[in-house]
Amino acid sequence: MRALTWQGRRDVRVETVPDPRIEKPDDVIVRITSTGICGSDLHLYELFGPYLDPGDILGHEPMGIVEEVGPQVHALQAGDRVVIPFNISCRDCFMCNQGLHSQCETTQVKERGTGAAQFGYTKLYGQVPGGQAELLRVPFGNKLPIKVPEGPPDDRYVYLSDVLPTAWQSVEYAAVPPDGTVTVLGLGPIGDMATRIARHRGAGLIIGVDLVDERLERAAARGVVCLDLRRHGKDLTEAVQELTDGRGTDAVIDAVGMEAHGAPLAKAAQWVTGLLPGAVAQPLMEHAGVDRLGALHTAIDLVRRGGTVSVSGVYGGAADPMPLMTMFDKQIQVRMGQANVWRWVEDILPLLTDEDPLGVDTFKTHAMPLEDGPKAYAMFQAKEDGMVKALLNP
């Protein structure tokens, strides 16, 4: 089969690799029809080389058609249409029964001290072959795949793999009160979708912050009050307070994570670490790694006293300095973590209708063949051609 593989920093290639096969009795093989490029894939493209090997298959936002099922699979059959959650969960263990599928005890990567395994996402999360490929082996075939209806195009359902549950959880964790206020930092795929979900769930004032024209325009068209970081950078807190009677918003969603602009020293340290040999870089990242924390520190500044900061952007540092005195003084609550995909499926799936309240049918900005995957990564990393969300079609 053809698959998009990591070969080095900013070097991904589509290669011919062996087809996956049934390895356990409850495995299924899915022929991929659509697969997204996630903002966190760019962390692999740029920074997480020490945890990757040349040839690793990337991607964790796939959907497709079941092609083969193992002998113990009874919930699916060949021809069924399914979306595959990015985190690999058994849905039967203690953590899964708490709704914490990203912490699944069956698939935790215990040798790394991390949570549930993920498709296409480094040795830290199991080094499981990903879904930017023609075929994907999916474990827990009776429990993990999300079966979706025939008929509507993939665009309606593919975001169940990551974008929708991640954005939904970010809004849930933000605890925005009815008709309340929320600032969303970063209007990439997750931030953009979070503004839509916040509106659907009854938020009043939604403020979006970014510095890419196309992203600001896209959010503003859906009623978000947009602030351009290039213009409000030094007075962003003042601008938000002016919109909220001097308080700040009830909640702030950090949908940026460690790719925040600014902090040139931390940026340089990340870049250099990514170039070191794995044996040297891994312990450095795990014990002394520092993120660019501009977005998170901004969130702490913008939220009102007694408010909530919800972090959906990925951070990877092990020694990040935090303004704990300010956080304590402002009595801020902070919630974060990988999305627990199956926890939110029953809330989201009924919204994926012809009425399309979240605008999923037109959410993508680019559709490209899998063979153009390297070009799509480069465009997304450079924010070229207004790219916000790209889908690859094998």
Q: Does domain 2-162+340-393 have CATH number 3.90.180.10?
A: yes
CATH architecture of 164-336: 3-Layer(aba) Sandwich (3.40)
Between CA 86 and CA 161 the distance in angstroms is: 6
pTM value is 0.91
Structural contact between residues 6 and 278, judged by C-beta atoms closer than 8 angstroms: no
SS3 81: strand
Nearest to 183 by CA among 216, 200, 208: 208
Give the pLDDT confidence score for residue 295 in this predicted structure: 84
Per-residue pLDDT tens over the stretch 332-365 = 999 999 999 999 999 999 999 999 999 999 999 9
pLDDT for residue 286 is more than 70: no
Instruction: Identify the band that residue 167 occupies on the pLDDT scale cut at 50, 70 and 90.
Output: very high
pLDDT for residue 393 is more than 50: yes
pLDDT for residue 279 is more than 70: no
pLDDT for residue 48 is more than 70: yes
Q: Where are the domains of the chain?
A: 2-162+340-393, 164-336
- pLDDT (average), residues 72-96: 98
| Mean pLDDT for all residues in the chain | 91
Per-residue pLDDT tens over the stretch 186-203 = 999 999 999 999 999 999
pLDDT for residue 6 is more than 50: yes
Give the pLDDT confidence score for residue 322 in this predicted structure: 85
pLDDT for residue 258 is more than 80: no
Give the pLDDT confidence score for residue 207 in this predicted structure: 98
How many percent of the chain have pLDDT more than 90? 81
pLDDT for residue 68 is more than 70: yes
Between CA 217 and CA 221 the distance in angstroms is: 6
pLDDT for residue 211 is more than 50: yes
* Joined tokens for residue 65: 């058609």
- Identity (one letter) of the amino acid at 212? V
Give the pLDDT confidence score for residue 288 in this predicted structure: 39
